[in-house]
Amino acid sequence: MITYLMRRLGYALIMLVIVSFVSFLIIDLPPGDFMDQKLAELSQRGDRSAETRIEEYRAKYGLDKPLLQRYWMWASNFVKGDFGESFQFERPVKDILGERLQMTILLAMFALAVMWIVAIPLGVYSAVNQYSLGDQVMTTIAFIGMGMPNFLLALLVLFFAVVVMDADITGLFSREFRDAAWSLAKVWDLLKHMWIPSLIAAVTGSAGLIRIMRANLLDTLGMPFVEAARARGLKNRTVIWKHAVRIAINPLVVILGSEHIPGIINRNMLLAYILNLPTIGPVFIGALLVQDSYMAGTCLVFLIMLTLLGNLLADIGLAWLDPRIRLE
Amino acid sequence: MTTDKSSETPSTGSGQAPSTGSGQAPERDKKQLSQSYWALVWWRFKRNRMGIGGMIIVLISLICGTLFAEFFTPYLVNQQSDYIEARPQWPHFIDPDGKFHLRPFVYGLNEEIDMTLHIRVYTVDTSKQYPIHFLVRGVPYKLLGLIPMDTHIFGPDPDDPEAHVYIFGTDGLGRDIFSRIVYGARLSLLLGLIGQALTLIFGATLGAISGYYGGGMDMFIMRTTEFLQAFPREPILLALASIIPDNWDPMWIYFGLTIVLAFVYWGGLARQVRGLVLSIREREFVLAAQSFGASDRRLLFRHLIPNAMSNIIVNATMMIPAMIQSEAFLGFLGLGLRPPLTSWGVLMNEVSSVRAIRYFPWLLIPIPFILISLLGFNMLGDGLRDALDPYSGR
């Protein structure tokens, strides 16, 4: 077990170094850099000292140095917990991500909870009542939901909210609560805003889960051990939930680890961007768009760390859930 | 090894989704025995209503959009008019007097300026009625770039210079949105098809080489795909798409984008093909061909790849919507195709502000069209997956 973990960790570390370097390289590849854009913007405003100011910025952020040296500087500071400075916000990356971390995790957890609470019972229902009307309706909806990009759905929902309901659904708080201290009213306000992104995320996310749950449970229900459990005279509900679902849920655990944990940052990025939520996703997109290298690089590294961590957790979780699986 | 497990388990899970339950009838068995593989595939596919539905949607969008967009639209793609951001003129059959017209007509629009919001608004003028003519003369164009024509499937009365028919409204330059949706399908669908073709060539060849030769080559290719898959999909697309310089010729941007898409998506296919090749390589007919002295290339391209073909086709159909969706996503952020070209991504870029959604919601009309065609490809892929496995005896 220990050797297994060590090996995985070593592999993850190597992967991290390579991936972070390559992502740094890719972010650096487009012609020009953030400062060129900034220079154009400043001189358009008629700032005469623009040139010298940009030179100062370049020196400050180390943009005048070659890529390798810059990467080394950033990476060695990264290990010490200093992620560099964001060009567009002119503040440390750490502070910006720190502010948004709480809401990002909260929102992701909420969306995940909605998704799983919706998907598992529906998937089980669909499998147990195969070919019933409910199953057919559910399978159709799941099929449509699976192919639906969630940013298009978000645009449609935004249309209904803005034009039909005349509501303000962007952001996570109404204006009066944005800087207020936490109170019951603020939590209520948050919930009022949060259900929309969660619902969109749940619709597009649970569709795939329902299909997988249904297919796996159907396979499991045909297995001899389920027959045996029934033969012992166990209640139908016990047979399904305690015996069959427990095995059929394995692939979902893998998905939880490998997709949903990195999905905390990644999954609803564009959705958050459209709805202007104070989460990490929108700043990540913004950073990629304007070549804010340290910011984008930091987000990418965390994303990949989460991916690797998620895979590891999924493997451990599987071994714990299903005693037949060994970690070697 | 663990990466293998986590990436493959869910796909086999969904792959096992049973589709058409059917009992084995004796006459069906007889028919199955005497048919060729592709005849069997078609025979099975025909019975899958969802697959047929998907095929019809895909064919319609390919024919109307990709091939004959000029004929199926009333206006040309970049034809501008004086009606800027005009509301849709929904077709009507019954006029204000309650009289029924067999020929649908639209009402004229009056332009006004909303002084508080400083935007143009259009009001419906029921006194002006413009009938919609079908198979009507309009702006000349060249069908398929070759045949000069001027017939459009519908349009305003060609003899009335005032007449106009914008059934889905116009955009900021006064261009007909309906026409732009149809033209957008051309580039978006082609992007999916070409991108997928590139992915197929890269992915299948590299996967087959990897599985066939094994050893160092296999190691190198597989580590590369693992590495590519470690990157999160959307951010890597974003980062790669922003490498394409803005000042390139639009056609080069288009080409660059297809390469970016193919580069991001080839890994999964390569892994799948490798797995298939590994299992086929040990079969008797391959060993027989090998013992007759067939060259590596012959084995690879005559025996291994054709046998993996059905899986490859399914994978390809399933990936096309992902590519179309990626183009819409990149376009929405302003990184996909760029204006003089018209694609669904470019159309999406026009609704990337809440202001647009509030005041010009008809700019959202492309979305249902995008969703339906994505659904069409998904349905077709699902139907094909069930049909291409006719010996499974399900």
Asked if residues B222 and B4 have their Cβ atoms less than 8 Å apart, the reply is no
Give the pLDDT band of residue B389 (cuts 50, 70, 90).
low
pLDDT digits (tens, 9 = 90+) for A82-129: 777 777 777 887 888 888 888 888 888 888 888 888 888 988 888 888
Q: Do B235 and A147 touch (CB under 8 A)?
A: no
Do B323 and B364 sit in the same domain of this protein?
A: yes
d(CA B227, CA B215) in angstroms, rounded, equals 18
Over 50: is that where the pLDDT of B12 sits? Answer: no
Find the CB nearest A149 among B2, B329, B358.
B329
Largest CA distance in chain A: 87
Put simply, the chain A residues between 237 and 266 with a CB less than 8 A from any chain B CB are 250-251, 254-255, 257-258, 262, 266
Asked if residues A119 and A209 have their Cβ atoms less than 8 Å apart, the reply is yes
From chain B, the residues in CB contact with A156 under 8 A are: 364, 367
- Kindly report the length of chain B: 394
Find the CB nearest B234 among A19, A26, A269.
A269
Give φ, ψ of B101 to 5 degrees: -110, 130
Inside any domain, residue B312: yes
Per the structure, the complete domain to which residue B172 belongs is given by 92-178
Closest residue in B to A219 (Cα) is B16
**Residues forming a β-bridge with A86:** A91
| DSSP helix/strand/coil, A279 | coil
How many domains is chain B built from?
2
Give the DSSP H/E element, type plus range, for residue B59.
helix B49-61
Asked if residues A103 and A265 have their Cβ atoms less than 8 Å apart, the reply is no
Kindly state the percentage of chain B with pLDDT values over 70: 90
Inside any domain, residue B348: yes
Q: How is chain A split among helix, strand and coil, in percent rounded to 5?
A: 75, 0, 20
Asked if residues B234 and B242 have their Cβ atoms less than 8 Å apart, the reply is no
Q: Which DSSP string do the residues of A37-49 spell out, in sequence order?
A: HHHHHHHHTT-TT
Q: Answer whether A189 touches B (CB < 8 Å).
A: no
Inside any domain, residue B308: yes
Do B241 and B324 sit in the same domain of this protein?
A: yes
> H helices of B129-249, where?
177-213, 215-230, 233-241
Do B352 and B206 sit in the same domain of this protein?
A: yes
Output the average pLDDT for chain A: 80
| pLDDT on residue B31 | 53
pLDDT digits (tens, 9 = 90+) for A146-163: 778 878 888 888 888 777
Q: What's the half-sphere exposure (Cβ side, CA atoms, 13 Å) at B370?
A: 34
Over 70: is that where the pLDDT of A287 sits? Answer: yes
Q: Do B235 and A266 touch (CB under 8 A)?
A: yes
Asked if residues B87 and B169 have their Cβ atoms less than 8 Å apart, the reply is yes
Inside any domain, residue B345: yes
C-alpha separations of B27 from B30, B33, B46, B47, B240 in Å: 5, 10, 18, 16, 55
Do B166 and B309 sit in the same domain of this protein?
A: no
Asked if residues B351 and B85 have their Cβ atoms less than 8 Å apart, the reply is no
Inside any domain, residue B32: no
Q: Which of B125, B144, B178 is the last residue of a domain?
A: B178
Q: Which of B152, B178, B204 is the last residue of a domain?
A: B178
Find the CB nearest A219 among B9, B16, B321.
B16
Q: What's the half-sphere exposure (Cβ side, CA atoms, 13 Å) at A153?
A: 20
pLDDT digits (tens, 9 = 90+) for B172-210: 787 888 888 888 888 899 888 899 989 888 888 888 888
Over 80: is that where the pLDDT of A216 sits? Answer: yes
Radius of gyration of the CA atoms of chain A, in A? 24
How is residue B348 written in tokens?
């999406």
List, in sequence order, every beta strand (DSSP E) within chain A.
85-86, 91-92
Q: What is the ipTM of this complex?
A: 0.78
Q: Do B374 and A304 touch (CB under 8 A)?
A: no
Burial of B5 (0-12, 13-18, 19+ CB in 10 A): middle
From chain B, the residues in CB contact with A144 under 8 A are: 375
| pLDDT on residue A305 | 81
Do B231 and B166 sit in the same domain of this protein?
A: no
Which amino acid, residue B90? W
d(CA B204, CA B267) in angstroms, rounded, equals 10
Residue B243 belongs to a domain with what CATH number? 1.10.3720.10
Kindly state the percentage of chain B with pLDDT values over 90: 1
Asked if residues A215 and B18 have their Cβ atoms less than 8 Å apart, the reply is yes
Q: Which DSSP string do the residues of B123-157 spell out, in sequence order?
A: EEEEEEEEEPEEEEEEEEEEETTTEEEEEEEEES-
Averaged over A301-306, what is the pLDDT? 82
Which amino acid, residue B330? L
Closest residue in B to A126 (Cα) is B17
C-alpha separations of A311 from A213, B5, B104 in Å: 20, 10, 59
Asked if residues A57 and A35 have their Cβ atoms less than 8 Å apart, the reply is yes
Do B221 and B174 sit in the same domain of this protein?
A: no
d(CA B360, CA A282) in angstroms, rounded, equals 24
Kindly state the percentage of chain A with pLDDT values over 70: 91
Taking alpha carbons only, the member of B88, B120, B118 closest to residue B106 is B88
The residues near A248 (Cβ < 8 Å, ≥ 6 apart) are: A127, A213, A216, A217, A219, A220
Do B174 and B209 sit in the same domain of this protein?
A: no
From chain B, the residues in CB contact with A314 under 8 A are: 6
Which amino acid, residue B280? I
Inside any domain, residue B87: no
Do B155 and B191 sit in the same domain of this protein?
A: no
**Residues forming a β-bridge with B141:** B149
Inside any domain, residue B6: no
Inside any domain, residue B11: no
Do B127 and B248 sit in the same domain of this protein?
A: no
Do B173 and B193 sit in the same domain of this protein?
A: no
Taking alpha carbons only, the member of B209, B164, B175 closest to residue B304 is B209
| pLDDT on residue B97 | 78
pLDDT digits (tens, 9 = 90+) for B248-305: 888 888 888 888 888 888 888 888 888 888 888 888 888 898 888 888 888 888 888 7
The residues near B340 (Cβ < 8 Å, ≥ 6 apart) are: B78, B250
List, in sequence order, every beta strand (DSSP E) within chain B.
92-94, 100-114, 119-131, 133-143, 147-155
Do B263 and B362 sit in the same domain of this protein?
A: yes
Asked if residues A291 and A33 have their Cβ atoms less than 8 Å apart, the reply is yes
Q: Which of B122, B157, B178 is the last residue of a domain?
A: B178
Over 70: is that where the pLDDT of B49 sits? Answer: yes
Over 70: is that where the pLDDT of B242 sits? Answer: yes
Do B234 and B373 sit in the same domain of this protein?
A: yes
Taking alpha carbons only, the member of A162, A227, A228, A219 closest to residue A196 is A162
Closest residue in A to B357 (Cα) is A159
Q: Do B2 and A212 touch (CB under 8 A)?
A: no
| pLDDT on residue A175 | 66
